[in-house]
Amino acid sequence: MRSFFAKFKLFGLVLLAISAVIIYLFYNALKPVKLLPVYSPAMVNSELVSEEIQHVKKYHTIGNFSFLNQNGKIITQQDYEGKIYIADFFFTTCPTICPIMTKNMAELQKELINDTDVLLLSHSVTPEIDSVAQLKKYAIEKGVNDTKWNLVTGDKKQIYDLARKSYLAVKTDGDGGPFDMIHTENFILVDKEKRIRGFYDGTNNDDMSKLLEDLKILKASYVE
């Protein structure tokens, strides 16, 4: 009799384990998949968007570009083809928010150094000062890894147009002329289709943590 109950107990435990596995699988199958929004100009504060595209509600992507990086190499959209990347705008002589932003971008570089799916891209907003040589000096000082992170300089109007019409990151005042100046703390998360998937305060540690969490969600969306 004792042997019978022992077998019945074992059967019950096995049945319970199988039931738990089935419930877990059903839960995961039915659990809603987390997805990040795809940002369009119409979804962003109008102060940060060029007036001519404020009405656009979908299909917004980052425009083509061509700049020089800290090594004097031409960097274009092709260098980021099929990659997720995090972009920002800075200048090497900035005494206020840029040092904090650069420090946080360096922390992201450290965190993502072995992740070949993710790159970093920082645009100088004072290209007339930030020559290739100046960017190289800055890159060495800040520990920039050339295979992961490009600091770029080039035509000021193109940089400013990208900031306002592609990255939707800064106020629209000015035209990229000699007296025009933009200054933004935004880090922008861009997916493999060149679409904006998130905005983050590059001076805020909580936002940096959220960026990394959102990056995990975005990467998971590409896993079949």
By the 8 A CB rule, do 40 and 53 touch?
no
Is the Cβ–Cβ distance between 130 and 55 less than 8 Å? Answer: no
Going by the annotation, the residues of the binding site for Cu cation are 94, 98, 183
Helix-helix angle 97-112:132-142, to 10 degrees: 70
Q: Which residue has the tokens 């061509």?
A: 66
Alpha helix segments (H runs only) across 37-131? 97-112
Instruction: Confirm if 98 and 187 have CB atoms less than 8 A apart.
Output: no
Helices 205-220 and 97-112 sit at what angle, rounded to 10 degrees? 40
Beta sheet of 149-152, edge-to-edge order: 149-152, 118-124, 84-90, 186-190, 196-201
Q: How far apart are CA 169 and CA 199, in angstroms?
A: 8
**Can you tell me the distance from the alpha carbon of 134 to that of 151, in angstroms, rounded to the nearest whole number?**
10
Annotated binding site: 94, 98, 183
